[in-house]
Copies of this chain bind each other. A is one copy, B any other.
Amino acid sequence: MRLSELGEKKLIELVMKLIRVNPKSLLKLGLDDADALRLEEGVYVFNTDFVAESTDKLPGMTYRQLARKCIVANAADLAAKGAKPEGFLASVALPSDFDLSSFEEIFRGLDQGAAEYDSYLLGGDLGEAKEVLISVSAFGRVRKKLISREGAREGDLVAVTGFFGWNTLAFMALLEGLELPDEIRKKALESAFLPKAPLREGLILSESEVVTSAIDSSDGLYASLDHLSKTSKVGFLIERLPVEDKLVKFVSKRGLDLIRIIFYGGEEFHLIFTVPPSDWEKVRLSLCSEGLTVIPIGKVISETKIVVVHDSRKITLHEGGWEHFTS
């Protein structure tokens, strides 16, 4: 069945069956088109991210995964600031001949994503466009400290909350035909199709009050370090690669470029954060005691460069590539 056969009213009724309603809502979602909440005083973070079918729907990815991923991208941005999502808004643009079951999958994916972060869809807009486009806005309350991208200081340690490279392998497999062994393929596709936002990590970092800067790594590890570098006016010396052994083995066996795979991927929603060395152990413990991953990868340097120690050599990363350290 096509959307055009149902019309907007029926579609909205259907959406209301697919999503949970926030018990704290002060307006009746579905009957009203906006929503209202009583908020307590505090610092709130606002973010928006969209996905378009032509750009973001990987081969083999379902609409449900695409929609959920848009929620995850928003939740990751909030997590990086130390904020817990209070609600999501979703604008969903669809071609009129779009099929009804995929429509349902989009809203299941949105609601599933919101539920994973203990939150709700607060409202939305539904309309026609030439391709599928899902735009999500999120707002959330800062747990304790608002963490920004500026504040990293020379001597701080830099750490991440997950391993990198799986997503790049997934892109290479899906878009360039790279063949992957089953075990590697499974990890890679899970990273690309079902990413998770580091929300618990972000809230713990906010609570610690000692983190000097943070960013989520959705633009890729190099680009995200570069954002932190430019905003904090510092550089990074990366002495340990945040990568799993089985990925390293696979990459080396195939003769692939490990640095490129780790640093120049994207859509891996880990946190990258900086913390003074004296506070490191406290932060590490607070994450580990909750069963969360945390990997120290290096330190903040004064020069605004991103330098990586790899195979006992120093290399400097640049936009779009890397080169051996020359000075």
Q: Is A90 in contact with chain B by the CB < 8 A criterion?
A: yes
Please tell me if the beta carbons of B32 and A36 are within 8 angstroms of each other in the complex. no
Copies in the complex: 2
Q: Which residue of B lies closest to A55 (CB)?
A: B128
The chain B residue sitting closest to A141, CB to CB, is: B39
Number of chain A residues close to chain B: CB under 8 A = 57
Known: A28-B231, A146-B27. Is A129-B48 also a contact (CB below 8 A)?
Answer: no
Q: Which of B26, B28, B90, B139 contacts A139 (CB 8 A)?
A: B139
Cβ-defined contact, B28 with A39, below 8 A: no
Q: If A54-B130, A127-B55 touch, does A146 touch B26 (CB 8 Å cutoff)? A: yes
A32 & B231 in contact (Cβ 8 Å cutoff): yes
Q: Are B46 and A35 in contact (CB under 8 A)?
A: yes
Q: Is A44 a contact partner of B48 (Cβ separation < 8 A)?
A: no
Contacts of A89 in B (CB 8 A): 46-48, 137
Chain B residue nearest to A54 (CB atoms) is: B130
Identify which of residues 5-45 in chain A touch chain B, using a CB-to-CB cut-off of 8 Å. Answer: 26-28, 31-45
Q: Is the CB–CB distance between A91 and B146 below 8 Å? A: no
Contact between chains at B137 and A52 (CB < 8 Å): no
Q: Which of A104-112, A118-126, A192-200, A292-300 contacts B (4 or more CB under 8 A)?
A: A118-126
Tell me if A133 is interfacial: C-beta within 8 Å of chain B.
yes
- Enumerate chain B residues within 8 angstroms of A188, measured Cβ to Cβ: none
A interface majority secondary structure: strand
Query: Which residues of B lie under 8 Å from residue A78 when comparing CB positions?
Result: 34
Q: Check A142 for interface membership: any CB of B closer than 8 A.
A: yes
A230 at the interface (CB under 8 A from B): yes
B46, A122: Cβ atoms closer than 8 Å: yes
Could you tell me the distance between the alpha carbons of A19 and B326 in the complex, rounded to whole angstroms? 41
Contact A44 B37 (CB under 8 A): yes
The answer, yes or no, to whether A81 is at the interface (CB within 8 Å) is yes
Is A280 an interface position by the 8 A CB rule?
no
Q: A231 to B31, Cβ gap below 8 A?
A: yes
A154 at the interface (CB under 8 A from B): no
Q: Decide: A34 near B150, CB < 8 A? Known: A52-B130, A54-B130.
A: no
**A125 neighbours in B (Cβ, 8 Å):** 48-50, 135
A selection of 5 A-B contacts at a CB cut-off of 8 Å is A32-B149, A34-B47, A36-B81, A46-B139, A47-B123
Chain A residues at the B interface, C-beta cutoff of 8 Å: 26-28, 31-50, 52, 54-55, 77-78, 80-81, 83, 87, 89-91, 93, 122-125, 127-131, 133, 135, 137, 139, 142, 146, 148-150, 227, 230-231
Q: Which 4 A-B pairs have the closest CB atoms?
A: A137-B137, A135-B135, A52-B129, A34-B47
- A38-B43, A93-B133 given; name 20 further pairs at CB < 8 Å: A26-B146, A27-B146, A28-B231, A31-B231, A32-B148, A34-B81, A35-B45, A36-B146, A38-B41, A46-B89, A46-B139, A48-B125, A50-B93, A50-B135, A54-B128, A55-B127, A55-B129, A125-B135, A133-B135, A137-B137
